[in-house]
Amino acid sequence: MSLTRRVLLAAGLALATLSPALADETKVAVAANFTEAAREIAAAFKARTGHEAVLSFGASGQFYAQITQGAPFQILLSADEERPRKLVADGLAVPESRFTYAVGKLVLWSKAEGVVTGADTLKAARFAKLSIANPSAAPYGAAAIETLKALKLYEALEPRIVQGNSIAQAFQFVETGNAEVGFVAYSQVIKAAGSRWVVPQDFYTPIRQDAVLLKTGADSVAAKAFLVFLKGPEARAIIESYGYAAGAAS
């Protein structure tokens, strides 16, 4: 074997030995509406970089409270702009790291075919329960309330509203039959059966979903790499496949 080949082989073996040591993990708090997309992105991120994104799912408002109380997350993928902005103002997040990674869509959904036909479904009100996410913790819940008020139906339908702690629980109420219809994220039902109405976006404030690097992750190679990956074409394709408009490009 030539000297050049021996040097290259030795270098290759050294890299192979070092690569696992270079791999790291980052703890990511993820808004519940983004669950399936985040899982796909995390898998692609690991395949591409070797780093692992450890995901936790829940309501953005609950994550904000947990982070202010010292929860060890390094990244927040929020369902709104407000919480990441507040974390920057609180001194708990890196200001220049904040960006919009997705723009969400609100949907009225039933797991039964033919039940949801549009706004007329809400006006006719042939249902006992209407599921929404808690509007104080989940932006999709706030958007649901805005929609009902825009349609001048909030007061009439308020007694029929059942609230989930997160958009995931609001979806579960409909999926399990505890509510006949519900306001959910388009991403949750884009591949599901049933009937749905994509609510016109002029009925509610745009759901701009922001990501931010928390100060706890400021020195994490994996955390910073994940945010770069989230802006890239592979992640953006996944985001769009779930019905979101993708946010910032790298």
Please report the domains of the chain, with CATH numbers, ordered by start residue. Answer: 3-103+207-246 (3.40.190.10), 106-198 (3.40.190.10)
Q: Tens digit of pLDDT for each residue in 225-239?
A: 999 999 999 999 999
Tell me what the mean pLDDT of segment 121-144 comes to.
Answer: 96
Q: Residue 106: its pLDDT value, please?
A: 97
The helix (run of H) or strand (run of E) holding residue 95 is: none
Report the alpha-carbon distance of residue 139 to residue 136 in Å, rounded: 8
Which residues touch 81 (CB under 8 Å, ≥6 apart)? 100, 208, 209, 210
Q: Is the pLDDT of residue 12 over 80?
A: no
* Helical (H) or strand (E) element with 207: strand 207-213
Which amino acid is present at 1?
M
Phi-psi region of 16 (alpha: psi -120 to 50; beta: other; left: phi over 0): alpha
φ and ψ at 70, to 5 degrees?
100, 15
Whether 15 has a pLDDT exceeding 70, the answer reads: no
**Integer Cα distance of 136 and 225 in angstroms:** 31
| Secondary structure (3-state) at 168 | helix
110 against 12, higher pLDDT? 110
Query: Within its chain, how far is the Cα of 81 from the centroid?
Result: 12
Give residue-wise pLDDT tens across range 149-201: 999 999 999 999 999 999 999 999 999 999 999 999 999 999 899 999 999 99
Name the residue among 247, 240, 221, 210 with its Cα closest to residue 63. 210
CB proximity list for 82: less than 8 A, separation 6 or greater: 139
**What is the pLDDT at residue 18?**
35
- Of all residues in the chain, the percent with pLDDT exceeding 70 is 90
Per-residue pLDDT, averaged over 43-58, amounts to 97
Which whole number is the average pLDDT over 212-225? 98
Give the separation between CA 231 and CA 249, rounded to whole angstroms. Answer: 5
Taking the C-alpha atoms of residue 34 and residue 187, their distance in angstroms, rounded to an integer, is: 7
What pLDDT score does 248 carry? 60
Nearest alpha-carbon partner for 196 in 94, 125, 112 = 112
Helices and strands (H, E) in the chain, number of each type: 11, 11
The pLDDT score that the predictor gives to residue 137 is 86
How confident is residue 246, by pLDDT bands cut at 50, 70 and 90?
Answer: confident
Entry pTM: 0.80
